[in-house]
Amino acid sequence: MSLDDLQQQLGHRFADVSLLQQALTHRSHGQPNNERLEFLGDSVLNCVVAAMLYRHFGRIDEGDLSRLRANLVKQQSLYEIAQRLGLSQHLLLGEGELKSGGFRRPSILGDTLEAIVGAVFLDAGFEAAQAVIGTLYEPIIKTVDPRTLGKDAKTLLQEYLQGRKLPLPVYAVVATHGAAHSQVFEVECAIPKLQIQVLGSGASRRAAEQAAARGALEAAQALAPAGGRRARTRAEKAEKVDKAERTEKGERTEKVEKTERAERTDKAEGAERGARPDKAAEAPGHTVHA
């Protein structure tokens, strides 16, 4: 892929192509390299992504917006964007870095993407850099679920399983395809307890694991409604039994209380009759004269 193709993907044609070439030059290759451009691009990227989140999520507070931004500009996120752009094919690396596979290293690719943003800023100003970042990030931000606060799929799957006291998933690389500079990994995510096995693919093992975890989480959540209905049915039955027992107990208690009240009433009446004086004995005496 040529630099013309890369510029087309970015949506920006450089007036000074040497800036783009510098952005693609790692320090191991010599001077000038992309470190200063990376510094500049990092600041521009953070500013633009923050503004995009502010506009897109109008009801989220500052803390959650910060967490979302941190997730979107972290190394792994930058690396995945760099992979989609095919930056590894354009990197200028020193011989040692090249032999050690530096063109696949997430830190190098993420830094290169930031350097490109810095190069666009110097080439055409803030609005041009904003447009490039928008092209790269708008599709991503549209898929962000603010309820997850930017957590990745593996973290969400782990929390989902732990919340249900289920064993954690098992990840395994099952295949790799392609040339060294553009490999595709296939990873299986298995949750034996739920009989779930999902394959995910990506330009790195980590990306493939994330894809597999995303599929496994969706599969696990799809099983949840039926289990939820069963749980609700059991709970409803238990509640009905408990209610019936409370009613029966209440009726027995009421009968006992009625019996006790009747017995107390009888005793009281008996006591009252025993204490009342005999009328004949109380009548005044009469003397009979012959």
Predicted pLDDT of residue 232: 45
Report the distance separating Cα 129 and Cα 139, nearest Å.
17
CATH superfamily of 3-145: Ribonuclease III domain (1.10.1520.10)
Predicted pLDDT of residue 243: 60
Q: 203 to each of 103, 163, 174, 185, how far by Cα in Å? A: 12, 31, 14, 6
Low-confidence ranges of the chain (pLDDT < 70): 180-181, 225-257, 262, 265-290
Q: SS3 letters for 146-171? A: HHHCCCCHHHHHHHHHHHCCCCCCEE
Q: 254 to each of 23, 243, 260, how far by Cα in Å? A: 87, 16, 10
Predicted pLDDT of residue 149: 72
Report the distance separating Cα 136 and Cα 8, nearest Å.
12
The tens digit of pLDDT for each residue in 198-237 reads 999 987 888 899 999 999 999 999 987 644 444 444 445 5
> What's the whole-model pTM score?
0.64
The tens digit of pLDDT for each residue in 87-98 reads 999 999 998 888
Report the distance separating Cα 19 and Cα 31, nearest Å.
13
Q: Active-site residue numbers?
A: 42, 114
